[in-house]
Amino acid sequence: MDLLLQVPLPDDAVYVASLAETVRQLPAVADYGRMIAGKFNRIYMVSSGAGYHIMRGLEWFGESTAEKIEFRALTSADFNNQLSPKVDCLTTLVILSSKSGKTPETVAAAERAKNRLCTTVVFTSETSSLAKQADHAFYLGDTNQAFYATFMLMLAFVGGILEEAEGWGLLEQLLSSLPALPKVLISAARQSELQGKVNAERYAAGDPIYLFASGPGMLVPGGFGLCVVEEKLKVVVVDRGADHFFHSTLETTTKTSRHFILIVAEDSSREQMERMVTFCKEHAGHTEIYDTEEFKMEGIDPKIRPLVAPYVAEAALKPYAFYLSQVTERPLNDMRYMGKIDY
């Protein structure tokens, strides 16, 4: 189980060690990205569940940085259903990820891409058969923190591509910052533990949780809200972007509205969330705000903070999930259908 979903939280040294293999690989992963960068003008990122939500943030990073390369994140199912003719091009790179390497839709996506002219790179476990379908594979290593490991490795890879092909200019700062991220993550969880406990105790049984973010911060409603709270705790989560709030949810918001969680990160979409925070403080009911500017993030270069801020917010919410499990009396790993039946 994710170490940040446990209270008491582990010692810093234990947590940092859980991602040591990931940190060791970062320079080589970035170098490979630089080596192949000149071959591609289009990058498809394909996964399911939490992996897809990681890729949505990387799509934002790529599209807001690159002039020559198109970035697109797709669920594995959509990739299979669309199978764009652009996949059958030598200038297309398809990146796939699966922690287990057994996700049926992602395996099918890798198999389909294998028979095309595109190049495929996979992020997965070392024992995964998925790796055999790819032109190149990177392994998550022996870690129970696969979510963060996948993000760190993929960010280094994409950073290498952008450095070489687009003249990004921040790869050195990225590679010097990422080794500090594990300690930043557990520090954020520890800093927010009391807030998470109080927030969970305010939860009213049966209420949906409205989780809002913007830009790459949408990693939190997806990766945490859907893949942790809804999937593991069976609590309904409404995951929304701040860009939609004033065109829909605005009109259902009242002082009796319950359980809004707002993620305020540090990228160019921050203004959207600040506008929503101002509105909710005046017109909504119980609202919890996780603003990443409140976390020191020691060792993270200021220019890299926007790239990692959603993950810091996600880590800060992990104790909330632990206490919500206690309040709802639902274990964090008791799946109803997943892995138990065919569907």
Question: Is the same domain home to 89 and 143?
Answer: yes
CATH of residue 310's domain is: 3.40.50.10490
177: number of CA atoms within 13 Å, CB side? Answer: 22
What is the three-class DSSP state of 44?
strand
Question: Is the same domain home to 236 and 306?
Answer: yes
- Which residues, 6 or more positions from 279, have their beta carbon under 8 angstroms from its beta carbon? 245, 246, 250, 253
pLDDT at residue 41 greater than cutoff 90:
yes
84 occurs within a structural domain: yes
> What are 275-295's pLDDT values in tens digits?
999 999 999 988 999 999 999
66 occurs within a structural domain: yes
Give residue 67's domain range: 3-169
Q: What are phi and psi of 38, to 5 degrees?
A: -70, -10
> What are 239-276's pLDDT values in tens digits?
999 999 999 999 999 998 878 999 999 999 999 999 99
Question: Is the same domain home to 13 and 162?
Answer: yes
**How many Å apart are CA 256 and CA 79, to the nearest integer?**
41
> What are 140-190's pLDDT values in tens digits?
988 999 999 999 999 999 999 999 999 999 999 999 999 999 999 999 999
pLDDT at residue 20 greater than cutoff 80:
yes
Q: Which two tokens stand for residue 71?
A: 């970035």
Q: Which two tokens stand for residue 95?
A: 């990146």
Burial of 256 (0-12, 13-18, 19+ CB in 10 A): exposed
The confidence score (pLDDT) of residue 129 equals 83
Question: Is the same domain home to 189 and 164?
Answer: no
Which one of 147, 169, 191 terminates a domain?
Answer: 169
**Could you tell me the pTM of the whole model?**
0.96
**How many Å apart are CA 1 and CA 13, to the nearest integer?**
17
**How many Å apart are CA 37 and CA 17, to the nearest integer?**
31
Where does the chain have alpha helices with state H? 12-18, 20-36, 50-63, 76-82, 104-114, 146-166, 171-177, 181-191, 193-201, 219, 231-233, 242-245, 270-283, 305-328
Percent of the chain topping pLDDT 90 = 90
**Domains held by the chain: number:** 2
Q: Report which of 151, 134, 37, 58 is spatially closest to residue 94, judged by C-alpha positions.
A: 134
Place of tokens 């911060």: 217
Which one of 140, 169, 198 terminates a domain?
Answer: 169
> What are 303-343's pLDDT values in tens digits?
999 999 999 999 999 999 999 999 999 999 888 998 888 87
CB-CB neighbours of 201 under 10 Å: 11
Question: Is the same domain home to 42 and 13?
Answer: yes
Question: Is the same domain home to 206 and 301?
Answer: yes
For the chain, give the mean pLDDT: 96
137 confidence band (pLDDT: 50, 70, 90): very high
The confidence score (pLDDT) of residue 45 equals 98
Beta bridge mates, 323: none
Of 58-62, 119-123, 206-210, 290-294, minimum mean pLDDT range: 206-210
